[in-house]
Amino acid sequence: MSQTISASATQPGSATALRPIAELHVHVEGTLEVELMVKLARRNGIVLPTYDADVLREKYKFDSLQSFLDIYYENLAVLKTEDDFYDLATAYLTRAAAAGVRHAEIFFDPQTHLLNDIPIEVVFGGFSAALGDARTNLDVSSGLIMCFLRDQGADAAMQTLEQALPFRDSFIGVGLDSAEVGFPPSLFTDVFARASAEGLRRVAHAGEEGGPDYVWEALDLLGVERIDHGNRALEDPYLVARLRDEQIPLTVCPLSNVALRTASSDLSQHPLLNMLDEGLLVTINSDDPAYFGGYIDDNLTAMTEALDLSPAQLDTLAENSFTASFLPEADKIRYTAEVSKYRAER
């Protein structure tokens, strides 16, 4: 399964030439590029409507979160073996390293694969091997965050956590994702309490489609340490004050927001500048880059062009990404020093 991977051999360029950054909101299943999906389908004897990558990609026009999720889950049926999961994670980490990513905290959805009759040990085996090889060959540190599918309910989430605990050393935290509206964080209080008791870090998607009340619940009932998305938090000045005062991170995904119309249909109207002006600990991430128009560097480039971000603001976003990570303090300091070095040398 192991193979040699190097950032210097990838596009768009070597990670060392770019501003160092951490990615804290990326779904590894959402990095399944069409070309890899076709390769895995052929390898596993899975019939696709077409094997033409361009034709398949034409379906990636979404008018809601659910319209995206329908295609997203359908495509994941090609993942069958440890090698498949290894190849998926390796492809993401190689591309991320080429974008300047030095550390990644990667979401994955075991329930999706369990529903496809894939044993959880196969999922952990492939992903863990890929993350280990990336540390050695790409000098990219990483950790897995196991997300619960909110539409599958709290009982299924607890069952999934129980199934995953024998692999406790293979993941650093839990999250909450999938369809947001109608599935508030309050439904998952018990499973997050159990995860906390196991020493797992906690995050949750909130304030993407759901309102500020979802963010309040995630903080107060689930005890999350980061809010994924959180755009709609800006609608509540008291919530904004709390996020600022407690420096609770927001993992914002601009190209995703535009593709799904969850923040604005135009990047020039994205609330990122408001978040920075409010003193929020905001970070930029790619979410599901195979579907939403690009990886973390693409998001940064698009936002720089749309909002005329300054080099100082980009440095702040990079520093925020390490501050908001679950890295040990010494590693946060080391990576932040890399950002300072980049600033001094540019």
Q: What is the CATH number of the domain that holds 40?
A: 3.20.20.140
Give residues with Cβ within 8 angstroms of 284, minimum separation 6: 21, 252, 253, 254, 272, 296, 299, 300, 303, 317, 321
Cβ neighbour number for residue 50 with a 10 Å cutoff:
10
pLDDT at 14 exceeding the cut of 70 = no
Residue 51: partners with Cβ closer than 8 Å, 6 or more residues away: 38, 41, 42
Sheet of strand 250-252, all strands in order from the earlier edge strand to the far edge: 21-27, 101-108, 141-149, 173-177, 201-206, 226-229, 250-252, 282-284
Least confident of 58-62, 241-245, 249-253: 58-62
| Candidate list 23, 105, 180, 208, residue with the active-site label | 208
Average pLDDT over all residues of the chain: 93
Q: Report the pLDDT value the prediction gives residue 224, as an integer from 0 to 100.
A: 98
Within a domain: 334: no
Would residue 289 count as lying in a domain? yes
Better-predicted residue by pLDDT, 64 or 333: 333
- Whether 160 is in a domain gets the answer yes
The answer to whether residue 98 sits within a structural domain is yes
Maximum CA extent, the chain: 54
Residue 3 has φ and ψ, to the nearest 5°, of: -145, 160
First to last CA, the chain: 39
The alpha carbon torsion through 159, 164, 168, 172 (nearest 10 deg) reads: -90
CA–CA gap between residue 105 and residue 108 (Å, rounded): 10
Is residue 246 among the annotated active site residues? no
Between CA 86 and CA 203 the distance in angstroms is: 24
Whether residue 227 lies inside any domain: the answer is yes
Assigned domain for 138 exists: yes
Q: In this predicted model, what pLDDT tens digit does every residue of 86-104 receive, in sequence order?
A: 999 999 999 999 999 999 9
Question: Region 158-186: what's the mean pLDDT?
Answer: 97
Residue 24 has pLDDT above 80, yes or no: yes
The answer as to whether 11 is a domain residue is no
Question: Phi and psi (nearest 5°) for 148?
Answer: -100, 140
**107-153 pLDDT tens trace:** 999 999 999 999 999 999 999 999 999 999 999 999 999 999 999 99
Mean pLDDT of 2-28: 63
Tokens of residue 60, six digits:
């990636």
In this predicted structure, the answer to whether residue 16 has a pLDDT above a threshold of 50 is: no
Q: Is the pLDDT of residue 339 over 80?
A: yes
pLDDT at 291 over 80: yes
How many Cβ atoms sit within 10 Å of the Cβ of residue 278? 16
Structural domain of 286: 20-313
Question: Which pLDDT score, from 0 to 100, does residue 6 have?
Answer: 36
Inside any domain, residue 281: yes
What is the per-residue pLDDT for 261? 87
Q: Residue 63: is its pLDDT beyond 90? A: no
Give me the pLDDT at residue 96, please. 98
pLDDT the model gives residue 200: 98
pLDDT of residue 1: 67
Cβ atoms of 136 and 8 within 8 Å: the answer is no
Domain total in the chain: 1
As a whole-number percent, the residues of the chain with pLDDT over 70 amount to 95
Q: Are 124 and 163 in contact (CB under 8 A)?
A: no
Q: How many other CB atoms are found less than 10 A from the CB of residue 205?
A: 28
Q: Tell me how far the alpha carbon of residue 162 is from its chain's centroid.
A: 23
